[in-house]
């Protein structure tokens, strides 16, 4: 279930950055709401993790970042966010 706080945070965001390395029903709900509000989305996932085809098939316009470790994620995410500005 999504709280009012969560809903307001999604509505106020410019971009959704989510780690999809693990499946989460709550995240799926938030992504659905973000999609309604036409939010830009960046999906990060650890190399070798299972990424649900429900995500990749539904959010074709999202940016996907595969990372190996935390430093790799920081570098790639920073680069991606700079391109969005």
Structure token digits, residue 7: 């809903």
User: Is the per-residue pLDDT at 24 higher than 90?
Assistant: no
Burial 10-43, CB ≥16 within 10 A → b, else e: beeeeebebbbbeeeeebeebbebbbeeebebbb
The contacts of residue 40 (CB under 8 Å, 6+ apart) are 14, 15, 16, 62, 63, 84
The 10s digit of each residue's pLDDT in 43-79 is 999 999 999 888 888 888 899 999 999 999 999 999 9
Domain ranges of the chain: 4-84
Strand partners, 28: none
The model's pTM is: 0.88
4-84 CATH fold: Rossmann fold (3.40.50)
With tokens 């995500």, the residue in question is 55
Mean residue pLDDT of the chain comes to 92
């Amino acid at each position: 279930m999504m709280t009012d706080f969560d809903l307001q945070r999604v509505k106020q965001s410019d971009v959704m950055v989510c780690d999809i390395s693990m499946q989460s029903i709550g995240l799926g709900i938030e992504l659905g709401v973000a999609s309604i509000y036409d939010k830009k989305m960046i999906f990060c996932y650890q190399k070798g993790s299972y990424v649900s085809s429900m995500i990749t098939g539904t959010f074709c316009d999202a940016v996907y970042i595969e990372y190996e470790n935390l430093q790799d994620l920081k570098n790639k995410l920073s680069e991606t966010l700079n391109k969005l500005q």
